[in-house]
Amino acid sequence: MLEDFMTRATLAGIGVALAAAPLGCFVVWRRMAYFGDATAHAAILGVALSLALSISVFAGAMAVALMMALTASVLSGRGYAMDTLLGVLAHSALAFGLVAVSFLSGVRIDLMAYLFGDILAVSRSDLVIIWGGAALVIALIGWRWSPLLTATLNEDLAYASGMDPKREQLVLTLSLAIAVAVAIKVVGVLLIVALLIIPAAAARPLSRTPEQMALFAAGIGALSAVVGLRAAYMLDTPAGPSIVCVAALVFAATSIVGAARSAGA
């Protein structure tokens, strides 16, 4: 069964959707979209370093993404607005990554595949990494679900409950780095944040509880992966962008449903 490239691609898309769903909810709740974008942009530098050092692309992308996220967390509030700081870090890391790739002699690299994803080229070993990373993200978020929700709602309440919001931020940062590393093969660094944010945003009008929103986001993400891949196969369009387009259409539909409910209430 896994010899079929469409089957491998579908499994990869579902795995990334499951990893991105709960994490995307926290990105939406905390308004961390730009933070996620900066982390994703940094991954291309990780790809260049991993190829130069002949190590796993997953390991290199995750290490640099985590370093970027930690750097942004440490430097925030030290004289620069967060959006300015993230803009500088994100585009600097992307530029250095692209320049570093140009210096790799004797290494053939399809840069477009890392920028926009190449889900149809996913191998069995890639599936193991993607599903292993997804399981790790789900385990981390599930383990710290209640403290993360409390810290997201109110940091003072978290302190009063004996929780450390900075520790929860670290868990979220680590999870984000892992998600970026596993998603880079599927949708590429330029579309990773879309897969994080759009399913979660689409699930919001349908949900009454945070747990419902995470489950709906997972379902919407998985549906987007399956339908987007089928559409890409039938219409001969890029697979990664097609997945994001389907997610955007679902977001539009749920937004209309949410608006209709509000008008009828």
214 lies in some domain: no
For residue 11, CA distances in Å to 2, 15, 197, 218 come to 9, 6, 20, 14
Residue 245, in any domain of the structure = no
Does residue 200 fall inside a structural domain?
A: no
Is the residue at 229 inside a domain? no
Range of the domain at 105: 5-192
**When comparing pLDDT for 221 and 47, which is higher?**
221
Q: What's the confidence (pLDDT) of residue 265? A: 60
CATH number at residue 25: 1.10.3470.10
Mean pLDDT computed over 256-261: 86
Does residue 252 lie within any of the structural domains?
A: no
Exposed/middle/buried for 230, CB within 10 Å: 0-12, 13-18, 19+? Answer: middle
Residue 19 covered by a domain: yes
Give the total number of structural domains in the chain. 1
Query: How many Cα atoms within 13 Å fall on the side-chain side of residue 246?
Result: 22
155-169 average pLDDT score: 82
pLDDT of residue 229: 92
Q: How confident is the model at residue 255, as a pLDDT?
A: 93
The tokens for 41 are: 């942009």
Indicate the average pLDDT of the chain: 84
Measured CA distances, 42 to 64, 66, 169, 212 (Å) = 6, 9, 19, 31
Is 208 part of any domain?
no
Q: How far apart are CA 5 and CA 121, in angstroms?
A: 7
**Residue 254 pLDDT more than 90?**
yes
Q: pLDDT for 215-235, tens place per residue?
A: 999 999 999 999 999 999 899
Q: How far is 223 from 14, CA to CA, in rounded Å?
A: 8
Greater pLDDT, 181 or 219: 219
Query: Is 129 part of a structural domain of the chain?
Result: yes
pLDDT in tens, 77-129: 566 666 777 778 888 888 888 788 777 776 666 667 777 778 888 888 888 88
Find, among 99, 98, 95, 71, the residue nearest to 85 by Cα: 71
CB 42 within 8 A of CB 64: yes
Which amino acid appears at position 172 of this protein? L
**pLDDT over 80 at 73, yes or no:** no
Name the residue with higher pLDDT: 66 or 253.
253
What is the distance between the alpha carbons of residues 135 and 157, in angstroms, rounded to a whole number?
29
